[in-house]
Amino acid sequence: MLSHGSLVTHFLPMMDERGMDLKVAVLAASLLGPVQVLGRLLMIHLERWLSIVQITAMTILCLVAASVALYVDDNSRELVFVFIVFQGMGIGIFSIVRPLIIAELFGYQGFGAISGMISLFSLVAMAAAPSLAAWLWLINGYSLVISIMLMVAIGAAVVFGLIIIIRRFSVSR
């Protein structure tokens, strides 16, 4: 949520700093919501063949791919739309799978407390994201924001992977 909040909140000024035409940037930003819906429809289709753990992993990798798209090129319309597709699909699916993956990983006993704690961290991250991104921008522009948020997304993928490994190891014992 930290990465999503930072990149989406600052999307238009970020694109302006990169010299992108405002109309193209607004068009891209306006597609974020519809792409979230497409992601959710894709999830409905994929859940027939993939577990909730696999769908969650795919979702997190979408968010990493979105940040990579912004990171690798600073003035490509195509990569901006790649960012929108992966970010929109990733966050759209993630909002649906979050309670499902919590139940899958931690069970239903104490579900409310566990879900509430995770939601607390997510909400704080989302609330802090615009200010953190602005502070990073003041230090070294949007290139720094994108780099840090890419690291945050990769960090989330690593933490999720470690949780899955630890869970599988502890269940098999």
**pLDDT by residue (tens digit) across 114-157?**
999 999 999 999 999 999 999 999 999 999 999 999 999 999 99
What's the whole-model pTM score? 0.91
**What integer pLDDT is reported at residue 58 of this predicted model?**
95
Name residues whose C-beta falls within 8 Å of residue 167's C-beta, 6 or more positions apart in sequence: 105
State which residues form the domain around 77. Answer: 2-172
Number of domains in the chain: 1
Low-confidence ranges of the chain (pLDDT < 50): none
Eight-state DSSP code of residue 139: H
- Distance from C-alpha of 64 to C-alpha of 62, rounded to nearest angstrom: 5
Tell me if residue 173 falls in helix, strand or coil. coil
Q: CATH number, domain at 131?
A: 1.20.1250.20
